[in-house]
Structure 1
Amino acid sequence: MRYLRTLGLIILDIILINFSYLLGLVLRFDGKTPEIYLNSYFKYAIYITLLQIVIFYFFGLYKTMWRYASIEEFLKVIGAVVFASVATAIVFITLIDREIPRSIYVMALLFETVLISGVRLFSRARDVFLSKGFKNGKKPTSQIKRTLIVGAGEAGVLALKELRKHKEIASIPVAFIDDAPEKKNKIIKGIPVVGTRHDIPKVVKDYKIDEILVAMPSIPEVQQKEILEIANKTKIKTKIIPGYYKVIEEDKFDLNLIREVEIEDLLGRDEIKLDDNSLSEFIENKVILVTGAGGSIGSELCRQIIKYNPKQLVMLDFYENNIYDIQNEIKRTYEDPQIVVLIENIREMERMEYVFDKYKPNVVFHAAAHKHVPLMEDSPVSAIKNNIFGTLNLLKCSDRFGIDKFVNISTDKAVNPTSIMGCTKRVCEIMVQTMNEKSKTDFVAVRFGNVLGSNGSVIPLFKNQIKEGGPVTVTHPDIIRYFMTITEACQLVMQAGAIAKGGEIFILDMGEPVKILDLAEKLIELSGFVPYEDIKIEFTGLRPGEKLYEELLLNKENSCKTEFEKIFIEKPYVHDTEILNKGLEKLEKDIHNNNKLELVNDLKYIVPNFTPDI
C-alpha cells in the first residue's frame, strides 16, 4: 500500500510538472503559443520531468507522510521545487535548448511551487480538519481521541510520530505541554506548545482533550508524581512512558512503551542508584540461597540476583505453584540459568541441614515468613513455628556451615510491635543480632514497610473491589502506611547485604507515609470512576493487631546514614542472650498447648515493648 501511494504521488508530480510548463507557455503567449516552442518543449519534456523527479526523490519528497507533515517538511518541498526548477533552467539554457523563453522557467517555478506543495498540503489540512472534530460537516465518532502530550522533548516528539503513524490507535495529538520557557508558543512538528504543567487543566478544557500522555521519562520521579497528580485531577484518561526508559532512540521506540498510569507512579520516588561493582562482588560466582523464593519479595530477589551471574541460585519455597512460575520465567528470560528449585519447609531442621550441606550457599536471603497480621492473630502457633523457629533453623545452619552472609527480611511491624506477626519478626531481628555476636558469619536484617502489589497487599484488594463495583473497604480514615515498590525494595535489600559487616539492622527509606484513604481514592480515579459517587468507600475498623501508624526506627538517635541515601543503619545492639534463650525455650514448650495468652506472654518476655490487643 505504501509503494502504491508513493507511485501515485510520483505520477501526480509528473502531471503537475508538465502542466506547469505548458501553462507557462500558454500564459506567456496569451493562449497562442507558437508551434516551435511547443515542439521544443515536447521534445525534451521527458528529460525535464525525469530531472525534477530525481531531485524530488533525493530531497525526500516521497518518504514523508504528508498528512502528518510539519512546517519543516513544507519548506523542504519549496526548496526542492526551487532547486529542481533552477537546475532545469541552467541545464537547458546553457547546454540543450535555448529556444524556450527564459520566462517560462520562472512561471513554471511559481506554478510548481503552488501545485506540488498544495497537493501535499491537502493531506495535512484534511487531517487537521478531522482532528478538530469534523468530518463531512459532522463530528466524528467518539473513537478519535484528542491527545495532549506532556513533554516536548525527545520522548514526546517520538511519541507524536508514532501516534501519527498508527492511525488504528485513533489518537490525534493536538497540543504539547512543557515547562521549558523557551519552548512555549513554539510549533513542533505542526503541534503547538501551549503551556506548562500548571496549565494542564485549562488546556484540557480549551482543547477538548480526551487523553493525556506524559512523555517525560528522564525527569525525577518526584516531579513526575506532581505532573500525574495534576493530570489525574482533570479526570481525563492518562498514560505514561515509564521512567526507566531514560534514553529513547528513534529506531527503538515502540508504542508498547506507553502504558496506563499505575498507583506506583503516584508515589513520586526517585530512581535507585546501585553500586553494581559491590553487587557483582557480592553475588557473581557465588551460590545464593533464597528462601520464600515463590513469594512477592523472594521471586523479585531471584529476578534481580540472576542478573549478576551467580554460580548457582537455589530457590526454596514450601508452596510449589508460585515458585514454579518464577522458575519458568527465569528459564524463558535467560539461556541455561544456573538455578535449582527446592520444595522444602524451613521448619524442618533436618531438611535445612541437607540443603546447606549439599548446595553449600555463600549467601542466604531469608524471605520465607507468614506476614498477614490478622491471619497470624488467629494462628499464633503457625506464626511462631514458621517465623521464629524456621528462622532459627536457618541461622543455626548458616553458622554451622560457615556461609558468608545471612540477610533476614524484616518489617516495620517489628518496631514496637502490637501484633503477633510483628512480634515474631522482632524476635527474628534479636536472634540475628545475637547470632552475629558469636559467629564468623555476618548476620544482618533489612527492615522496610509495605510493598505495593505484593501478594495479599492492599492494592490488589482495592483493585478487585473496584472491579466488582465496590465498595472499597478501608479500616480507618486516618490509617497511614509506608510503601515501596517490590523492585525497589529488593534492590535495596541486595545493596544492604553487599555493604553489611554483621549485626546491623538496615532500614530502607520508605519516603513519606501514605494515607490508605488517599490511596483508595486515587485508585478509584485511575480506574475512571469518581470516589463516593461511582464507587463507595466504607470504613470497617482496625483489625486485631493492626496499628494506625507504622514505625520504621526503634531509636532515631541510634541510627546513621550509609553511603546510599535510601539505606540507614540501626546500630548493632547487644541483647540479653539468657533472656532470649529462656524465652525461646518457653515458646517451644508452650506452642504445644495452643494457648494464645501463654504464647503472648512468652513473646512479651523476649520483647518487653510488645503491646498486644489481648
Structure 2
Amino acid sequence: MTSTELLKIILRKGQLIVKVLGKYISFNQCLFAAVFLLSAASFWLSYEIRFDFNVPHHFAGQRLLLLLYVSLLKLTFFYLLRGHGSNWRYVGISDVPNLFFHCVLCSTTLFAVGYVSERLWIPRGVVLIDFFMSIVFIGGSRVGLRVLREKIRLILRTRSSGKETRAVIIGAGDAGEMIVREIARDTGSRIKIAAIFDDDPKKQGHTIHGIRVVGGVDHISAYAQDNKFDTAMIAIPSARNADMRRIHRILKTLDIKVKTLPGLNEIIHGSAKLTQLRDITISDLLGREEINIDTELLKKLIFRKTALVTGAGGSIGSELCRQILKREPERLILLERTENSLFHVNRQLREVHPDIPIVPVLCDVRDTVRVEEVFQEFRPELVFHAAAHKHVHMQELNPSECVKNNIAGMQTLARTCDRHGVSRFLLISTDKAVNPTSVMGATKRVCELYCQAFGMVSDTKFLSVRFGNVLASEGSVVPIFMDQIARGGPITVTHPEMRRYFMTIPEAVTLVLQAAALGNSGEIMALQMGEPIKIMDLIQHLLMLMGKEPDEIPIVFVGPRPGEKLFEELTAPSESNMATTHTNIKIFNRDSVDPGKLIASIDKAVERVMRGVDADTVRLILQELVPEYSPAEGSEYPKLSAYAGSRSN
C-alpha cells in the first residue's frame, strides 16, 4: 500500500467521523467555538507581543480578568454581523470588508470602555495588536480551512476507469478563472487543466490557481506539438463572432473536442448559465453582437398580465413563452393545434416556472367557436400570434391551405381580440412579406394589411413585427444543411449568390417583445438583422463546425424553386421608415388605407377560398389583395399530382 493510498484511507475515515459527529453537533456550534477560542488566543498574544513576552504582573491579572469578556464581545459582534452566514467553503476577497468591520467595532468598543472605566482600561498598543491579530487569526483560519478542504478533495478525487482528460482554457479572464476553480472543487471531475491561452500580453506568463498562461491563441498549435490535451474550453463570453471563427479555425486542425461558455446574449436572455460549457454552434460563428434589452419596459408590458401565445409549440412560439414567463405574467395560455408539441412545451415550461399558472389549450386558430371559448374563460390582455404555415415550397403546393391557416386564422384572432378588448395583439410576420414572390409571403402581407386596418378602427393595439430567418428553427436551412453534411452530401443550394438575413431565436424573440412594448396601433415594426449572409459562407462555417474540409462534401446548385428569392428584403420601396428608441427596431408605414374597405375585401377573398377554388385562382385572389405579389419569373407552379407517380411493376 502506497503512502497516498494510506492517506486516502485515513481521510475517508476522518470524513466518516465528522459525518457521525455532525448528527450531534452543528457546524455553527463548531464555528462559534472556534471564533471564541481564536479571539481569546488573539487577545492573549496581543499582551505578550506588546510587552515583548514579559507581561507586567498587574497587566497579566487584567488580561486574565478581561479574557472571557473580550472573547464574548467579539463573538457577539461576529453573530450580529452574520459572520456565520457566509459560506466558508467559498471564502474570498468579498468576505474581507465584513471581517474588517467586525474587528473595527470590537477595537472601538474596547477603546470606548477604557475611557469610561479606568479598571477596564486596556493599553492602546494591545488593542491595535489585537485588531490585526484578530484579522489574521479569524481570516487566516477561514482561508486555511478552504485551502485544506480543497487539498483533501484533490487527494480524494474519485476517477472512473479510463484516462484523465487533459484540457486547455482559452481566455484568462474571470470566466477562465471560474472554470479552473470549479474543476478544482469538483471531486468527480476527471479533467486536468494543462495550460491557459490569452491574447492579452499582460496576462501571458502569469498563473491562475497554479495554471500558467503560456501565450496567445496562435501559440496553441505549437504547444500541442509537445503537450497532449484532449479538449479546449473557450472561456470568453464576450467574444466577437470573428474571434470565435478564428479560434475555431485554429482548434479545428488539432483533432480535439472544443467546448465554450455561453455568450453574453444567452446569459442575458436566461437561456444559459455562465457555468454551462457546451459545444460550439453555428450561432457562435454567425450570430450578432450583443443586443441591448430594456428589461423595465418588458416587465411593464407583461408583469401581472394574462398573455396568450398561438403556435406555442413552435420554435418562435415556445421561445416567446419562455421569455414571457421570465417577466412574471399573471398566467400564460399556450394555444397550439399539435398535441405532441403542446405536451412537450407545457412540460418544459412547468418544470422551470412551477409558480406561474400555465394553461395548455389544444386549439386551431381557425376554430372560431373554440377560440371564443378560450377568450371568454381566460380574458387574455396580450396576444402574440406566432401560429402560421411558413415553409415556402409546401405552401406553393397547398396554396388554399396557406390562405385558410394564415389569413383565416388571423381573421378569427383579430375579431376575437377586438370583441374582448385585448390590450395588444402582435403578429409575427416575415421578410418574405415584402414584395412577395411566394404564396406564404403573400398571405403574410395580407395579414399585415389586416392588422394595420384593424389597428385603425379597434381599441386593441394591433402591431406586426417583421424579421428574417432564425438560426436552428424548425425547417430552416441550417438543420437541413447539417443533415446533408452528416449523410455525406450532396448539399443542395439554390444559387451561389443567394443571401439571407439570420438571427438567433432568443435574439429575435427579445426584439419582438421590445417591439410589442414600443409600437403603436397599426404599425409594422421591422427588426434590423444586420448584414445578409451568403448561403455559401454559411455552408463553409457549417463544414468547419462539423470537422469537414471545404471540398470534402459536394455542393449542387439546383436553381430557384417557385416562390424563392435570391435576396430577401426587410422593407419595400413604398414604405417610409422611422427610428425607435431601440437601435435594432424600425417602424415602417405605407400610405394610409381605408380600413373598412380593406377588411371587407380580405374577408370576401377568404370566403371565396373557403368555398373551394383551384390553386391558380388562389394566386389570382392574392394578387388582387397584394398587387406587388409576383411569382418568380420562369418558374412553373408545382402541382401535387406531380408527386403522385405510378408504381412500377
TM-score (structure 1 length as normaliser):
0.71
Query: Which residue of structure 1 lines up, in the alignment, with residue 569 of structure 2?
Result: 551
Query: Residues 492 and 146 from structure 1, CA distance in 2 versus in 1: closer, same or farther, beyond 3 angstroms?
Result: same
Equivalent residue for 1:242, pick from 257, 262, 267 = 262
Query: Which residue of structure 2 lines up, in the alignment, with residue 38 of structure 1?
Result: none
Equivalent residue for 2:493, pick from 474, 481, 486 = 474
Superposed, 1:59-74 pairs within 5 Å as none
Equivalent residue for 1:149, pick from 140, 165, 169 = 169
Superposed, 1:111-510 pairs within 5 Å as 147-163=167-183, 171-200=191-220, 203=223, 210-219=230-239, 223-224=243-244, 226-228=246-248, 231-232=251-252, 236-244=256-264, 257-510=276-529
Structure 2: runs of 5 or more not aligned: 12-150, 152-160, 637-649
Equivalent residue for 2:546, pick from 527, 531, 535 = 527
8 Å CA contact 2:261, 2:274 repeated in 1: no
Secondary structure class of the residue paired with 1:182: coil
How large is the Cα RMSD of the aligned pairs? Answer: 3.5
> How much identity, in percent, do the aligned residues show?
42
Moved more, 255-264 or 401-410: 255-264
Quote the offset at 1:168 in angstroms. Answer: 7.6
8 Å CA contact 1:220, 1:271 repeated in 2: no
Quote the offset at 1:292 in angstroms. Answer: 0.8
* Post-superposition CA distance 1:580-614 (Å, at most 9, x none): 63354234214534322211111111111111145
Query: Residues 428 and 203 from structure 1, CA distance in 2 versus in 1: closer, same or farther, beyond 3 angstroms?
Result: farther
Quote the offset at 1:4 in angstroms. Answer: 2.6
Superposed, 1:41-80 pairs within 5 Å as none
- Give the total of aligned pairs: 484
Equivalents in 2 of 1:375, 1:3: separation in Å?
A: 70
Counterpart AA for 1:528:
G
Query: Which residue of structure 2 lines up, in the alignment, with residue 101 of structure 1?
Result: none
Secondary structure class of the residue paired with 1:183: coil
Query: Which residue of structure 2 lines up, in the alignment, with residue 564 of structure 1?
Result: 582
Query: Residues 154 and 356 from structure 1, CA distance in 2 versus in 1: closer, same or farther, beyond 3 angstroms?
Result: same
Quote the offset at 1:348 in angstroms. Answer: 2.1
Quote the offset at 1:464 in angstroms. Answer: 2.7
Equivalent residue for 1:601, pick from 617, 620, 633 = 620
Structure 1: runs of 5 or more not aligned: 9-122, 124-140
Counterpart AA for 1:294:
G
Quote the offset at 1:410 in angstroms. Answer: 0.3
* Post-superposition CA distance 1:281-338 (Å, at most 9, x none): 2111111111111111111111111122211211111111111111111221222421
Equivalents in 2 of 1:255, 1:311: separation in Å?
A: 29
Query: Which residue of structure 2 lines up, in the alignment, with residue 26 of structure 1?
Result: none
Superposed, 1:75-114 pairs within 5 Å as none
8 Å CA contact 1:222, 1:268 repeated in 2: no
Quote the offset at 1:579 in angstroms. Answer: 5.3
Query: Which residue of structure 1 lines up, in the alignment, with residue 593 of structure 2?
Result: 575
Query: Residues 526 and 3 from structure 1, CA distance in 2 versus in 1: closer, same or farther, beyond 3 angstroms?
Result: farther
8 Å CA contact 2:267, 2:273 repeated in 1: no
TM-score (structure 2 length as normaliser):
0.67
Query: Which residue of structure 1 lines up, in the alignment, with residue 112 of structure 2?
Result: none
8 Å CA contact 2:265, 2:291 repeated in 1: no
Equivalents in 1 of 2:559, 2:410: separation in Å?
A: 32
Equivalents in 1 of 2:534, 2:165: separation in Å?
A: 34
Equivalents in 2 of 1:521, 1:211: separation in Å?
A: 23
Equivalents in 1 of 2:183, 2:324: separation in Å?
A: 37
Quote the offset at 1:523 in angstroms. Answer: 2.1
Query: Residues 2 and 447 from structure 1, CA distance in 2 versus in 1: closer, same or farther, beyond 3 angstroms?
Result: farther
Equivalents in 2 of 1:463, 1:168: separation in Å?
A: 34
Quote the offset at 1:153 in angstroms. Answer: 1.5
Secondary structure class of the residue paired with 1:473: strand
Equivalent residue for 2:555, pick from 529, 533, 537 = 537
8 Å CA contact 2:493, 2:558 repeated in 1: yes
Secondary structure class of the residue paired with 1:355: helix
